[in-house]
Amino acid sequence: MSSISLPAEFTLHRKNSFNRTSAPRWIASHIRPYLWIVAMLIVGAIGNAALAAYVPVLTGDAFNAMTKAKPDTSVLLPLALTIGISQVIRGVLQLGRNFGAELLAQKMERDIRDELYLSLLGKSMTFHSLQPVGDTMARSTNDVREVNYMFSPGVNLVVGSFMFLMMPFFAAPRYHPSLLITPAIFTIIYFVALARYLKTLAPITDEVRATFGDMNTHLSESLDGVEIMKGAAQEGAEVDRFVWNARRVRDAFVRQGDLEGRYIAMLLLGTAYAGGLVHALLLFRAGTIDLGAVIAYFGLLRLLEFPTFTSTWAYSQISSGLSSARRILELINRETQLDQNATGMTSAMRGEVEFRNVSFQYPSPVSGRGDRGEGDFVVQDVSFKVKQGQTVAIVGQTGAGKTSLVKLINRTYDVTSGKVLVDGVDVREWNLASLRSQISIIEQDIFLFSRSLSDNIAFGKPNADKDEIISASKAAQADDFIHDFDQGYDTVVGERGVTLSGGQRQRIALARAFLTDPRILVLDDSTSAIDSATEDKIQRAISNAARGRTTFIITHRLSQIRWADLIIVFRKGRIAAIGTHDELMKTSEAYSRIFKE
């Protein structure tokens, strides 16, 4: 293991880099690799609009042919064929526009999900402790989907409608230059009204996305704590809280709908129809244009219906997509102090650990951390040294900071001040992936994935063969109960391992640690749920596992503490006493009190 070749833990080398300075620039940088799709969308939109405008022009020509003193019916069939062929081509172009928009939307959604997932994996545990899981899930699923909808149908319809809006400017002057007045006035008022509409809409769509995230956060917490909720018979209170959150989401959507309902675009369209038709009829009465031009011009004005109709909700979809993009980008850009140090030390670890004047505090209150407020130190001025292969027992009252202390070794958290050294090297100078691959922490709250027992054991070593998995299971005293299941090692456990007992989950976690053969092993009260009949076997397994590696044990069990080479008594984030069991029983009142209690 002298030459470890590990991929950077949080960085996936991509051929594309994204501009994260603002939501529009971030979205634009995601679009850049797919400019050929954008070209398909634009070409399809232009062709669709141009051929749509061609129909009223040809219809006007047909009217002129039939209103002559001697009607010319010979032109009707060619005109009809031309219209038919043009609309078939238009349909193909419209299909290309829609397909391009949908393809772009799906590619954007995939890339954003990848980027967000990689970003979340790269965040420190401080970030994950502070960020509600429900809100993260809302941003990772619903908000990403809203960005998809922003392109299809949002941008798709906006681009298509804009081309329709431009067509009267190209076709109307062929009949009379003054016929540009109505579409010009309509367009100016349309964009002024649209700018005001979008400015008012943006904070409302932000509120819609935020309230949805709050509702999802409460839902996630309720499902995670459903056992506690039912045990306390608080279903009614939780339903009331959820209804209140759902009402906030509903009210935000109602405000958005109210704003959309007061949008004046449809009124503006009717005025444009009336004004444009009167103008054309006045020109016809003056003999400036013929009847076919009046028919064609009014048909061109009818093209304004598409941008007017779509603007009432397509721009709302874009505003919602931008709001979602801001929420996603805020999560990606959230600062994390954890540096993977991809070029750091990657050599094989011996297992010597030293704490030098280490202090640690959470950046802000973290749920489940007791009554510590922001700025309080969880670990303060801690110094000690552990030689390679020694076993260290850390004891103290609940909330003393024992778990926080050991999580500084593998940089689950980074120290606030001082240094944690492994083999004489500051842990921040190690390659993070290499550091963590050689340290195994088994926590009291064991997490298992909804996969087979074999996959859970081999999680830290995916290429392990069946014999290695069985050997690790036997060392952890797990092989016997695994064979009691009908499918043995192929048995799929429920989410978080709920189909297993506490003792079984902890033995699976021990097997997982044994399989990876770490140089530093941390057992955070990992045998608390094991019955007395199994405890001796587990104790022997841990003793065997501790040979040749540095082991930290957080426990209250005297049977595990006695054989430790070094015992650290932790009290309120500080070392109250340190030494062997016999020494501390004589010199430390705090230590002896633990066993008297």
Q: What is the pLDDT of residue 186?
A: 92
Selection from 310, 244, 322, 247 nearest residue 24 by Cα: 322
Per-residue confidence band for 368, with pLDDT thresholds at 50, 70 and 90: very low
Dist. CA 150–CA 286, nearest whole Å:
48
User: What digits encode the pLDDT tens for the residues 114-150?
Assistant: 888 888 877 777 777 777 888 888 888 888 998 999 9
Query: Does residue 576 surpass a pLDDT of 90?
Result: no
Report the C-alpha gap between 516 and 44 in whole angstroms. Answer: 56
The length of the chain, given as a count of residues: 597
User: How far does CA 577 lie from the centroid of its chain?
Assistant: 44
The helix (run of H) or strand (run of E) holding residue 575 is strand 574-579
Q: What are the residue ranges spanned by the domains of the chain? A: 23-333, 353-438+518-596
Query: Is residue 455 within 8 Å of residue 446, measured between CB atoms?
Result: no
**Two structure tokens written together for 124:** 């420190």
- The Cα 334–Cα 224 span in angstroms is 25
pLDDT at 211 over 70: yes
pLDDT at 342 over 70: yes
Yes or no: say if 170 and 53 are a contact pair by the CB < 8 Å rule.
yes
Bigger pLDDT: 122 vs 204? 204
For residues 100 and 108, give the distance between their C-alpha atoms in angstroms, rounded to a whole number: 12
> If pLDDT is split at 50, 70 and 90, which confidence band does 372 have?
very low
Topology annotation, domain 353-438+518-596: Rossmann fold (3.40.50)
pLDDT in tens, 252-301: 888 877 777 776 677 788 889 999 999 999 999 998 988 889 999 999 99
CATH class in words for 23-333? mainly alpha
pTM surpassing 0.75?
no
* pLDDT score at 163: 93
Residue 418 CB contacts under 8 Å (≥ 6 apart), including other chains: 355, 356, 357, 358, 359, 381, 382, 383
**Residues 6+ away with beta carbon under 8 Å from 575:** 382, 383, 384, 568, 569
Q: What is the mean pLDDT of the chain?
A: 82
